[in-house]
Structure 1
């Protein structure tokens, strides 16, 4: 482990532009912090952690293969873990109590500064990192399990109405990282291992399947109308019925016509 005078960190995110963005923000907010490695997935995060033994690990919650929660289990109390998520909020008590820290993408400067302040305090109060952690192993495991449970139930909203559902989609368009507000998405279409996201400003491919996305989208607004198509109900203009209990969905301000298979036609019975 590094000394308290030069703390070290590992950043794990499957999106390189987001890794670089967080690294730049940390360089401005915490110049003394040294980023010793960047990982593309949870498994690589664990391997690089064992190699570099950083004081802090920033873990994207959703990564292919071994996700951030599973990686955190393997790292345990040997580092300060900060989860990074695209959700506006999680109904996870551990977060509210400060047992686990988190950042929401896109990062807000004030939130990052608060996180850095807490990390500084925790690092200053322990040496070495594993000897005086504020949480026992069982407490940390319980807190991580709470987060894992929330990830298994992403469609459960908080009483305020928005918690738990995906609020942003991140997509790489050339060398630019787009953060697309979910409520502006008109429809999603499966494209082999990717999903095409179509919104008012354009379209982009993301590395998530339709099935994965449906688990994270608010069912009040997003409906699967075909095995390869999900539509934002707020964007629907009208429906035209076809043969054999099928139909087509027409969208406001768009020329695309989306198919509705018979398995999903019941969603539009009242239209």
Structure 2
């Protein structure tokens, strides 16, 4: 029996990929990382050509989600889902081919995966996997992302969403405004909008606010609003005209 599992890491966030790679490297007797993939499309090609024993797979990725990727594969390796959301019923993952880790990933949790691998089977059939995914989808809970990962120098920081007052697009990056500082993320505003919980609202093509931080809202010209936030800087942000109805609907709820 092969002493290590040929492993591919699949995640659209560079800090998450690097963090997981560092953690798995601490278990050289179990994992041999043969490649990484930045999205589901790239992952499909690498899985089919390199035939890994095991993949660490982010669920929510743009263009092709983790679930959509698995549905496209003919031969599915052992899967460890790795995600920021605790939104799927964990009992659905109690199979002999799947594990589930909630970000931020810790070494202790990887050690648990190592223990579980002894009972896992390689190359689950697509029919079996699709049945499991169907069970998972039927047991969805409200999505709940609780933190966002950012890289600062050689460190990975986990910023709690409850401390974030707003997100602001900045060229190819997104600024994360919190009372502990301003951080840069590789996530786009569009990706964040799909991932964030309901207390976040996009009010401009380049701004998402935390509704829990809103202090007051004033009407502005051209169907826009000025929103003042209860952060340390008492920040004011201006909404975009095309978000007028979204904001009015929120105000009236």
Q: TM-score, normalised by structure 1?
A: 0.76
Label 1:42 to 1:238 Cα distance change in 2 as closer, same or farther (>3 A).
same
Say which structure is richer in strand. 2
Which among 161, 168, 179 is matched to residue 182 of structure 1? Answer: 161
**Counterpart for residue 122 of structure 1:** 120
**How many aligned residue pairs are there?**
248
- The match for 1:233 is 211
Q: What does 1:185-204 align with in structure 2 at a 5 Å threshold? A: 185-191=164-170, 194-204=173-183
| 1:80 CA drift (Å) | 0.6
- Indicate how the Cα distance of structure 1 residues 42 and 149 shifts in structure 2: closer, same or farther if over 3 A, else same: farther
Cα distance, 1:92 vs structure 2: 6.1
Pick closer, same or farther for the CA change 1:247–1:207 going to 2, 3 Å. Answer: same
Partner of 1:259: 238
Measured in 2, the distance between the counterparts of 1:172 and 1:44 equals: 23
Unaligned runs of 5+ in 2: none
- The answer to whether the 8 Å contact 1:194/1:207 transfers is yes
Whole-angstrom distance in 2 between the partners of 1:4 and 1:222: 47
Displacement of 1:247 = 3.0
Gaps of 5+ in 1: 124-128, 158-163
Q: Distance in 2 between matches of 1:76 and 1:84?
A: 21
Kindly indicate whether the alpha-carbon contact (under 8 Å) linking 1:14 and 1:40 is maintained by their aligned counterparts in 2. yes
User: Does 2:124 match 1:141?
Assistant: no
Is it true that 1:34 corresponds to 2:32 in the alignment? Answer: yes
Q: Which among 90, 94, 105 is matched to residue 92 of structure 2?
A: 94
Instruction: Write the distance in 1 (CA, Å) between the matches of 2:151 and 2:11.
Output: 14
CA distance in 2, matches of 1:89, 1:29: 28
Contact 1:94 1:100 in 2 (8 A): no
Distance, in Å, in 1 between the alignment partners of 2:190 and 2:204 is 12
Change (3 A) 1:190 1:104: same
> TM-score, with normalisation over the residues of structure 2?
0.80
Change (3 A) 1:57 1:266: closer
Tell me by how many angstroms 1:107 deviates: 0.9
